[in-house]
Amino acid sequence: MFIDEAKITVKAGDGGHGCIAFRREKFVPRGGPSGGDGGNGGNVYLVTDIHENTLLKFRYNHTFRAERGRHGEGSNRRGRDGEDLEIKIPLGTVVSDDDTGEIIHDFTQPNERFVVAKGGRGGHGNAHFASSVNRAPHKAQDGALGEEKDLRLELKLLADVGLVGFPNVGKSTLISRISAARPKIADYPFTTLEPQLGVVSVDTDKTFVVADIPGLIEGAHLGHGLGIQFLRHIERTRLLLHLIDVSGANDRDPIDEFHTIDSELAEYNSDLAKKPKIVVAAKMDAADPKKVQKLQRWCKKNDLELVKISSVTGEGLDDLKHAVVSKL
């Protein structure tokens, strides 16, 4: 199951309390204070792991606590520090404060380690407060509380290229033909229910990563269809492939189809609609010549690159891959 949002609570360890103690040893008259300091509480770290690809485990486990520091002891023995807690998360996770909405950290590198909650400092024992005027202090310091935060985790897949278009326009078939990804393919809308990633190899020495997201329809930003909940996964991409169905079986106008999807992207994030695009005329094996000609003229007028493909016959797939590499 693909889960790309989660809310968790993290609690760093509290610091141990300082100790009040006095030396009681033979031949040591008036031994003085010997209370040790408390140990520091453990920190909570988030660490990216390339083997993690979903936030599913946070669906059932919401609270994570680091170990508290041990209390100080007599004979000036300092308490042991609490152990740090490491929580593994997928690459591409954005962590924000659930109360304020402030982004705390964006994890984009492998093995990235970031402290999200700091442990409390250990309190001082009474030996710390001894002075020339107060040789037997009867006070010690409590340990500080560790930080506690409610966090929102949001996974945004890391891909170079994003596929956008109406449902059943051929995005899943395309990614299955140019990469090793095997999404569900069927002749009805919304067969893709979760994002898919595929690695595409070009000329043996070049690769790029493609993200296929569930299809959009008019009003997606209002929650129609599957809504826009998956658009976050193409926010990081550098290039969009906008697939247009030019087959005779599709009664949509190709230009209207482009504008509908483009407006949904803009409603979600204005920067998303401004990304570089390649228009892809899909299903050329069953194309309507009038639609193809109309789309060609419109793309030329608007200075948009157009590539004609058929994922069924393989027509234009190499041209598309080289066009993507050139753009990237």
Q: Do residues 104 and 151 make contact, with C-beta atoms less than 8 angstroms apart?
A: yes
Left (φ > 0), alpha (ψ -120 to 50) or beta: where does 288 sit?
beta
The pLDDT, as a whole number, for residue 95 is: 95
The pLDDT, as a whole number, for residue 190 is: 46
The pLDDT, as a whole number, for residue 306 is: 92
The pLDDT, as a whole number, for residue 51 is: 87
The pLDDT, as a whole number, for residue 300 is: 92
Buried-exposed string 153-181: b where 16+ CB fall within 10 A, e elsewhere: bbbbbbbbbbbbbbbbbbbbbbbbbbbeb
First to last CA, the chain: 31
Task: Name the one residue in this structure whose structure tokens are 């990804």.
Answer: 181
5-36 pLDDT per residue, tens: 899 999 999 999 999 999 887 777 777 899 99
Query: With a cut of 50, which residues of the chain have pLDDT below it?
Result: 186, 188-190
Q: Do residues 279 and 304 make contact, with C-beta atoms less than 8 angstroms apart?
A: yes
Torsion angle (degrees, nearest 10) of CA 99, 102, 107, 112? -80
The pLDDT, as a whole number, for residue 49 is: 92
39: nearest Cα among 75, 68, 76: 68
The pLDDT, as a whole number, for residue 26 is: 77
Q: Residue 97 CB: number of other CB atoms within 10 A?
A: 14
3-state secondary structure of 114: strand
233: nearest Cα among 284, 269, 283: 269
The pLDDT, as a whole number, for residue 227 is: 53
The pLDDT, as a whole number, for residue 224 is: 54
Kindly list the structural domains of the chain, giving each domain's residue range(s) and its CATH number in brackets, ordered by start: 1-155 (2.70.210.12), 161-327 (3.40.50.300)
The pLDDT, as a whole number, for residue 2 is: 62
